[in-house]
């Protein structure tokens, strides 16, 4: 049951088909957070077609890369990290062991082994709810698109599980950083936000309308 990039709708189609999404309302705090960010409205339509919201298991996605919310030792742990290592098989840990760990905010890349995706990008999210560090995780993960010619990539909700980052602020940072990246890098074809917890599904449905409007 592999999910290919054609099966995850661009945000554009998603909003049009799913009317419940349009009813979701952002809060005043969302507006305050959003206003920290200057968007180039001319690019709105084309950028909305480059993001998708996916709900479910990131290990099923067949993409250029999936991102792992790893720990600094790059040792298989719980949460999405455990799921990725289980699905990839033991050779993923063997390659991780050659990398000498990974500091918070940085990212390292490995093969995908038994996963449908070609690469796994391991990034280490902050444990102290640092917005700047979480932003670096997204930037450093996306930066591999150049060296490894990655055109499709999926992110889990980094740091919002065991590391306890507030979900809503984490989503603002993920969406803002991705938007800024897509405005400057037109070779990236699709960035997929992989939500797993119902709370994150609802947050992303609301905030994607702000950062990636379709009208
Ligand atoms: P962190 O340690 O960075 O907080 P976690 O793995 O604990 O990372 O959680 C990050 C997010 O990944 C959480 O929302 C968690 O529910 C989600 N998650 C867990 N398993 C999967 C999976 N198989 N696919 C996608 N997301 C997952």
Q: What is the per-residue pLDDT across 32-59, written as a single tens digit (0 to 9) for each?
A: 888 887 776 667 667 888 999 999 999 9
Query: pLDDT at position 29, please?
Result: 87
3-state helix, strand, coil in the chain (%, to 5): 45, 15, 35
> Computed from CA positions of residues 88, 90, 91, 97, in that sequence, does the dihedral angle turn out positive or negative?
positive
Question: Would the ipTM clear 0.90, i.e. be above it?
Answer: yes
What size, in residues, is the chain? 215
Provide the 3-class DSSP secondary structure of residue 66.
Answer: strand
Query: pLDDT at position 140, please?
Result: 98
Residue 161, ligand 1, Cβ within 6 A: yes
Query: pLDDT at position 25, please?
Result: 77
Q: pTM of the full predicted structure?
A: 0.94
Residue 126, ligand 1, Cβ within 6 A: no
Query: pLDDT at position 99, please?
Result: 98
Residue 27 CB: number of other CB atoms within 10 A? 10
Question: Measuring from atom 13 of ligand 1, which residue has the nearest CA?
Answer: 161
| CA proximity to 159, closest of 86, 71, 35 | 71
Burial bucket for residue 162 (CB in 10 Å: 0-12, 13-18, 19+): middle
User: Measured in angstroms, how far is the CA atom of residue 89 from the centroid of ligand 1?
Assistant: 18
Helices (DSSP H) in 97-130: which residue ranges?
none
Angle (CA) 134-135-138 rounded to 5° is 95
Residue 156, ligand 1, Cβ within 6 A: yes
User: Measured in angstroms, how far is the CA atom of residue 157 from the centroid of ligand 1?
Assistant: 6
Residue 81, ligand 1, Cβ within 6 A: yes
Q: What is the per-residue pLDDT across 187-209, written as a single tens digit (0 to 9) for each?
A: 999 999 999 999 999 999 999 98
Residues with pLDDT less than 70, the chain: 12-23, 40-42, 44-45, 215
* Strand-strand pairing, 190-195 and 107-111: unpaired
Q: Which atom of ligand 1 sits closest to the CA of residue 167?
A: 14
User: Measured in angstroms, how far is the CA atom of residue 198 from the centroid of ligand 1?
Assistant: 12
């Amino acid at each position: 049951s592999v999910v290919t990039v054609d099966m995850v709708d661009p945000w554009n189609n998603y909003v049009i088909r799913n009317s419940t999404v349009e009813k979701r309302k952002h809060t005043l705090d969302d507006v305050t957070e959003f206003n920290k960010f200057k968007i180039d409205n001319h690019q709105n339509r084309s950028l909305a077609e480059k993001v998708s919201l996916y709900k479910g298991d990131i290990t099923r996605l067949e993409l250029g890369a999936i991102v792992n919310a790893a720990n600094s030792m790059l040792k298989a742990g719980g949460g999405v990290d455990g799921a990725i290592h289980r699905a990839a098989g033991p050779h993923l840990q063997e390659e991780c062991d050659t990398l000498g760990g990974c500091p918070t905010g940085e990212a390292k890349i490995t093969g995908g082994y038994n996963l449908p995706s070609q690469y796994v990008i391991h990034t280490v999210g902050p444990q102290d709810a640092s917005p700047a560090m979480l932003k670096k995780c997204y930037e450093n993960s996306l930066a591999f698109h150049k060296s490894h010619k990655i055109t499709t990539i999926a992110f889990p909700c980094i740091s919002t599980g065991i590391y306890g980052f507030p979900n809503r602020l984490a989503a603002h940072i993920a969406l803002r950083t991705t938007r800024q990246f897509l405005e400057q890098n037109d070779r990236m074809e699709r960035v997929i936000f992989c939500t797993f917890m119902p709370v994150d599904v609802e947050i992303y449905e609301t905030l994607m309308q702000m950062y990636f409007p379709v009208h």
